[in-house]
Amino acid sequence: MNSLGINKSKKETKVVVAMSGGVDSSVVAALMKQEGYDVTGITLKLYDDTKQSKEGRQCCAGQDILDAKRVSENINIDHKILFYQKKFKSEVIDSFIDSYAAGETPIPCVQCNQTVKFRDLFKYAKDLNADALITGHYVSRIQTNGHANMYKAKDQNRDQSYFLFSTTQEQLDFLRFPLGEIDKSETRAIAEKLKLNVATKPDSQDICFVPNGDYASVIKKFRPESFKPGKILDIDGNQIGDHEGIINYTIGQRKGIKIASNNALYVVNIDADKNTIIVGNKDCLEVKQIKLRDLNILGSKKEFNEEINIKVRSTGRLLKAKVNLLENSADVEILDQETGVSPGQACVFYSKDEIGDKVLGGGWIHKTFNKNLSTKLTT
């Protein structure tokens, strides 16, 4: 059994490494080559970036493809580029725009992992007769009794398990995440030691197809009708202002409401059907129950009989919760205090064991039940 848990010699083990052009995936490719595996690097071109800002820090842009190619040449591995712009547009960008137009706050990175990266790249790697698909994600994959489980990464500040909740068991069996057990600083040190050209390259920060974080400009380009003016209401239904399009607002937003008030006002609901924004005080943002759709379950359903932990935003903390699994949906009771939960985000399930925080799957937030009101942003 080799270091990837595959019953072959390293030389006979063919691995595909998803190379974004960043330091993490480049280090993974170099480590696999160094260990003696048969490595092929794959880079996805996901969007046309000719007009993107050179100062933006996105992934999968033109410069990233060149960086991935250069790393591949330096470490002497095969490198292929897959042109997935049409797939990415239909499955990720269009979904992102639809979600914002429905008053949600989407997470395109999860959609990207769920579709073009893990589904389509998974199939491509299988077609190459690869034994494993390797990525530079910070998440741990631990196999016990022949069963692969996903855990939060050792580097909690870099953990990406929230974005990978939709990974299926079949995909997890095939995937490997070598960086799950090391810190980001170690990754940088390895890159410098191996003299990789991306050793000091900044991490991507923005959504790849949203230059400089200006998502409104992307939506305006593809869906200009989303900028339809409407009413801003208080929680009693009284009009207290006007807005220039619901896509300019997200749940929990305070800045940019432009309404004079003695108390701070927050966006507490977005009614896309009526094209209205509802604002209220911070207490109205407290959420005790949420309803989920489109579940992906990785753990045993027995693990949901007890209290578990959930995460409702990528930068959020773990919250105690009770989860009632239904047919491809779930009712979640949040036992800790939490505010500003938005439909369109993910709710990821975790259980604590002797190894760490195990990912049990998750689902998409469809409806929230807030203090003083409920929101239903999709039908």
Distance, CA of 77 to CA of 311 (rounded, Å)? 38
Distance, CA of 170 to CA of 13 (rounded, Å)? 19
Active site residues: 112, 208
Beta-strand runs (E) in the chain: 14-18, 38-45, 78-83, 132-134, 139-144, 147-152, 175-176, 230-234, 239-243, 266-271, 276-280, 287-297, 308-311, 319-325, 329-334, 346-352, 357-370, 373-376
Judge whether 373 and 233 are in contact, CB under 8 Å.
no
Distance, CA of 93 to CA of 222 (rounded, Å)? 9
Helix (H, G, I), strand (E, B) or coil at 328: coil
Residue with tokens 């007890």: 306
Judge whether 41 and 159 are in contact, CB under 8 Å.
no
